[in-house]
């Protein structure tokens, strides 16, 4: 059975931007958080292969220990500019890095 992904955006989309997780904590790419001087209203993160751990608001996710898990083939939607800015992620298992595809949604210029 094939899976259908629906991506509804009322603003302008930018992406996807590809990024790999690592053993070190990362934030979303700067060009996703802010694009053409516009803060992202919503961000969609799809995890293509290995899982990541993620957290918000200054909490640091740790491989194998702390943070929510986004498994392979799952999609996360973050719908608040403050949460987008504070989003942090790391490979869920050390040395098993994930390929992420990230698209941002922005208001009109």
pLDDT in tens, 15-69: 999 999 999 999 999 999 999 899 999 999 999 999 999 999 999 999 989 999 9
Overall average pLDDT of the 79-107 stretch? 96
Residue range 80-100: average pLDDT? 97
Tell me whether residue 34 is exposed, middle or buried, using C-beta atoms within 10 angstroms of its C-beta: 0 to 12, 13 to 18, 19 or more.
middle
CB atoms within 10 A of CB 92: 26
**pLDDT at 6 > cutoff 90:** no
pLDDT over threshold 70, residue 103: yes
Determine whether domain 14-106 maps to CATH 3.40.640.10.
Answer: no
Residue 91 three-state SS: strand
Q: In terms of Cα–Cα distance, which of 77, 96, 82, 88 is closest to 13?
A: 77
Rounded Cα–Cα distance for residues 12 and 21 (Å): 26
């Amino acid at each position: 059975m094939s899976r259908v992904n629906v991506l509804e955006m009322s603003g302008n989309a930018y992406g996807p931007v590809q990024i790999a997780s690592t053993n070190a904590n990362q934030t979303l790419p700067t060009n996703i958080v802010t694009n053409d001087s516009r803060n992202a209203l919503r961000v969609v993160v799809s995890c293509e292969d290995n899982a990541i751990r993620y957290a918000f608001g200054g909490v640091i996710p740790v491989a194998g220990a702390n943070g929510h898990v986004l498994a392979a083939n799952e999609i996360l939607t973050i719908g608040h500019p403050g949460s987008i800015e504070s989003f942090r992620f790391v490979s869920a298992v050390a040395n098993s890095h994930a390929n992420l595809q990230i698209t941002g949604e922005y208001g009109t210029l």
